[in-house]
């Protein structure tokens, strides 16, 4: 039997898991709670400031990494969860979840490059 | 010493006579310091000599007496009765294996898988005996020692939901032992073992539920071993595909 090609998606899954564990909780805290509550002032995430922030190439790279790796992590997690719940048609599920992750990776790339 | 009367509901099955497994109950006068296996032995010695089960060492070394106790894969010689409240305990054979008779399961599937991962030292060059032993530092020993603790009790296979879904999965204990030899400084057989490990039915069938490590009576942590092998296999894959000129 041949060696599996799963390392492609699993590598992204593992990297995304690490990123999610370290970065996402604090991102939710900042963007979902502290900023809306006005802790950093009402202009903290204004359009102008955020465009300027995301205009920096280093920020673009980091944002692209955090957004897409998290997506690929979620995609693979959903595929495995479906498997654990007994959904046996793995092929279509894999195409659906990785397709979405790929689509939004392209969207993120396009959006970041257009800033 | 205080005694406690416990009702044991034991699964009985004789494939030659019974059309289906059935439950037989035994009332056992248990001593407080007994383990489950003591009660099973009491049944065999005093109540019903026809009950079949495996056991040998009674000290969590031989790995023979794995059973399902109240639904949990359990090493019956390591499960103290004082940890079981109530007056009823259900004892069944390990799940995910065919039943040979009563609490005895057929282990052929695991034995084949264990052989397939070549769980023995494969040194780069075989040294003649006169040249002495293969030396190893305490640090090199510590690297893999945890994975040598496996006693092949099969609790991890009984706990593994992926093995239940796909019996082709190489499974926790065999993979943990693969890892044990891969990590050994005296060994050079990893690339041979990868032929099995890196297949779909190798590490990739595992979805890291972690039940194997929870039930392991020897703290081997097969789930951890499998995840480490997934990382190594992922690195391998990228080296093989992105740098094909690189020799193994």
| Per-residue pLDDT reduced to its tens digit, B10-27 | 999 999 999 999 999 999
pLDDT at site A84: 82
Residue B173, domain extent: 108-242
Q: Quote the number of domains for chain B.
A: 2
Residue B247 has pLDDT above 80, yes or no: no
Whether the ipTM is more than 0.90: the answer is no
| Whether residue B112 sits in one domain with residue B100 | no
Q: Which residues of chain B are within 8 Å of residue A83 when distances are taken between CB atoms?
A: 165, 207
Any CB–CB contact under 8 A between A17 and chain B? no
Q: Using CA of residue B227, residue B233, residue B234, residue B235, what is the dihedral sign? A: positive
Per-residue model confidence as pLDDT tens digits over A55-106: 999 999 999 999 999 999 999 999 999 988 888 888 999 999 999 999 999 9
pLDDT at site B130: 94
| Whether residue B87 sits in one domain with residue B25 | yes
Assigned CATH class of A8-113 = mainly alpha
Using DSSP, state whether B73 is helix, strand or coil.
strand
Per-residue model confidence as pLDDT tens digits over B34-68: 999 999 999 999 999 999 999 999 999 999 999 99
Q: Does residue B143 lie in a domain region? A: yes
Partners of B75 in the β-ladder: B66
Question: Residues, chain A, total?
Answer: 115
C-beta of residue B91 within 8 angstroms of C-beta of residue B154 = no
User: Which of B105, B131, B163 is where one domain is finished?
Assistant: B105
Q: How many whole angstroms separate alpha carbon A77 and alpha carbon B147?
A: 28
Q: List the structure tokens of B157.
A: 């296979």
C-beta of residue B154 within 8 angstroms of C-beta of residue B97 = yes
B195, B207, B234 ranked by CB distance to A7: nearest = B234
Q: In B, what residues contact A, Cβ < 8 A? A: 161, 165, 194-195, 198-202, 204, 207, 209, 230-231, 233-234, 236-238
Any CB–CB contact under 8 A between A5 and chain B? yes
| Whether residue B115 sits in one domain with residue B235 | yes
A1, A7, A86 ranked by CB distance to B233: nearest = A7
Q: Which residues of chain A are within 8 Å of residue B211 when distances are taken between CB atoms?
A: none
pLDDT at site A58: 96
Q: Does residue B248 lie in a domain region? A: no
Give the A:B interface size as CB pairs under 8 Å.
40
Structural domain spans, chain A: 8-113
Band (pLDDT 50/70/90 cuts) for residue B1 is: low
pLDDT at site B176: 98
Output the CA–CA distances (angstroms, integers) from residue A38 to A26, A30, A51, B64, in the order listed: 16, 10, 19, 63
């Amino acid at each position: 039997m041949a060696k599996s090609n799963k390392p492609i998606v699993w590598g992204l899954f593992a990297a995304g898991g690490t990123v999610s564990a370290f970065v996402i909780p604090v991102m939710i805290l900042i963007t979902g709670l502290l900023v809306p509550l006005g802790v950093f002032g009402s202009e903290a995430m204004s359009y102008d400031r955020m465009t300027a922030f995301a205009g920096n190439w280093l920020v673009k790279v980091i944002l692209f990494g955090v957004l897409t790796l998290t997506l690929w992590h979620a995609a693979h997690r959903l595929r495995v969860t479906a498997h654990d719940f007994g959904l046996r048609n793995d092929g279509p599920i894999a195409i659906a979840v990785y397709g979405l992750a790929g689509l939004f990776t392209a969207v993120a790339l396009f959006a970041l490059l257009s800033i | 010493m205080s005694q406690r009367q416990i009702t044991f509901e034991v699964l009985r099955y004789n494939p030659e006579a019974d059309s289906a497994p059935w439950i037989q109950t035994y009332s056992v006068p248990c001593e407080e310091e007994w383990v489950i296996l003591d009660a099973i032995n009491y049944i065999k010695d005093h109540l019903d000599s026809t009950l079949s089960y495996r056991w040998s060492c009674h000290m969590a070394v031989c790995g023979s007496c794995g059973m399902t106790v109240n639904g949990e894969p359990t090493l019956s010689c390591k499960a103290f009765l004082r940890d079981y409240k109530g007056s009823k305990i259900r004892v069944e054979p390990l799940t995910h294996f065919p039943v040979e008779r009563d609490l005895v399961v057929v282990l052929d599937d695991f034995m084949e898988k264990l052989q397939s991962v070549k769980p023995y030292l494969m040194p780069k060059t075989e040294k003649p005996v006169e040249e002495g032993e293969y030396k190893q530092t305490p640090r090199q020993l510590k690297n893999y020692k945890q994975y040598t603790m496996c006693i092949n009790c099969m609790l991890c296979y009984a706990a593994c939901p992926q093995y239940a879904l796909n019996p082709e999965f190489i499974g926790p204990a065999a993979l943990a032992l693969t890892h044990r030899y891969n990590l050994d400084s005296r060994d050079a057989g990893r690339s041979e073992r990868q032929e099995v490990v890196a297949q779909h039915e190798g590490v990739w069938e595992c979805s890291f539920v972690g039940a194997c490590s929870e039930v392991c009576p020897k703290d081997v942590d097969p789930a951890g071993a499998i995840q480490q092998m997934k990382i190594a296999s992922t690195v391998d894959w990228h080296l093989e595909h992105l740098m094909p000129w690189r020799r193994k």
